Amino acid sequence: MPEETKSPSSPPPEGGGKPAAANPPTEKPVAAAAAKPAAPAKPAGPTPEPWDAPVVAALKRLFGSGVQALTYLGQNYLEVDRSLIPEILQILRDQEQFDYCVDITAVHYPQRPRQFEVVWILYSHPRNERVRVKTQIADGEAIASAVPTWPAANWLEREVFDMFGIQFSGHPDLRRVLLPEGWKGHPLRKDYGIIQQDQEWVQINLGIESGQ
């Protein structure tokens, strides 16, 4: 089962707003069909492996066990303690030349004690390398804003705030960006239904009974 091979630091998401998909009868033929193609080691699925690089060594020297470096399907990522985020992002930019902040996003795991995983996707123009930095935070906790490090983070963080309700401390202008001001709820949380809407907002602003 691929679920068991995932690293312990990120338990598998289950349920979370969608029907539990792993029902045994359908599981078997799929696994059999997946085994047929020549692709190596298909049924088990690849597992994250430790990632060794000078960057990682430098970070481990500074932060010890606060940083975990892994690689999955050839893509490198760092799992980092929340408190270390501002420092690590700064070091990645200043010393490791990750000058381009590609994206900032989040994933909601309602069953975890710390529900949100915030992800920074970084790229280095001089090194032509990508790295993802991930951290877990609880609902209501704030995370340091990356706007002072990369101005590109501005709207990206606003979108994460808009969709998940994650606070970025030190952000110059943390407001909703895609949804209208005054909207209640954060749609990309798993407990927000697919056809759910802020009916009150719709009634007041659009003058119709329901947006559905």
Partner 1 sequence: MSDPISPVSPLDLDEKEKTFLDATELILNMGPQHPATHGVLRVILKLDGEKVLGLECMIGYLHRGVEKIAENRTYTMFNPYVDRMDYVAAVSNGLGYCEAVEKLLNIQAPPRANYIRVILTELNRIASHQLWLGTHALDIGAMTPLFYTFRDREEILKIFERYCGARLTTHAFRIGGCQYETYSGFEKDVKRFLDFVAPKIDEYEELLTTNRIWVERTTKVGVISAKEAIALGVTGPVLRASGVKWDLRKAQPYAAYKEFDFEIPTGQNGDTYDRYLVRMAEMRQSMRILRQAVEGIPEGPIMAKVPKVLKPPVGEIYHSIEAPKGELGYFIVSDGSTQPYRVRVRPPSFVNLQALDLMCRGQLIADVVAVIGTLDIVLGEVDR
Residues of span 183-212 touching partner 1 by CB under 8 A: 187-188, 192, 194
Q: Are 44 and 5 in contact (CB under 8 A)?
A: yes
Binding mask 50-79 toward partner 1 (x if CB under 8 A, else -) reads: ----------------------xx-x----
Q: Under rule CB under 8 A, how many of the chain's residues touch partner 1?
A: 60
Min. distance of Cβ 145 from partner 1 in angstroms? Answer: 15
Spell 103-136 as b/e; 16+ CB within 10 A means b.
Answer: ebbbbbbeeeeebbbbbbbbebeeeeeebbbbbb
When the beta carbons of 44 and 208 are compared against partner 1, the nearer one is 44
Written as one string, the DSSP assignment of 107-168 is EE-TTSSS-EEEEEEEEETTTTEEEEEEEEE-TT-EEE--TTT-TTHHHHHHHHHHHH--EE
Q: In Å, how far from its chain's centre is CA 63?
A: 22
* Interface with partner 1 in residues 124-183 (CB under 8 A): 125, 128, 130, 132, 150-152, 154-156, 159, 163, 176-180
Q: In the complex, which residues of this chain contact partner 1 (CB under 8 A)?
A: 2-3, 5-6, 12-14, 16-18, 20-22, 26, 30, 33-34, 36-39, 42, 44-46, 48, 72-73, 75, 99-103, 105, 107-108, 119, 121, 125, 128, 130, 132, 150-152, 154-156, 159, 163, 176-180, 187-188, 192, 194
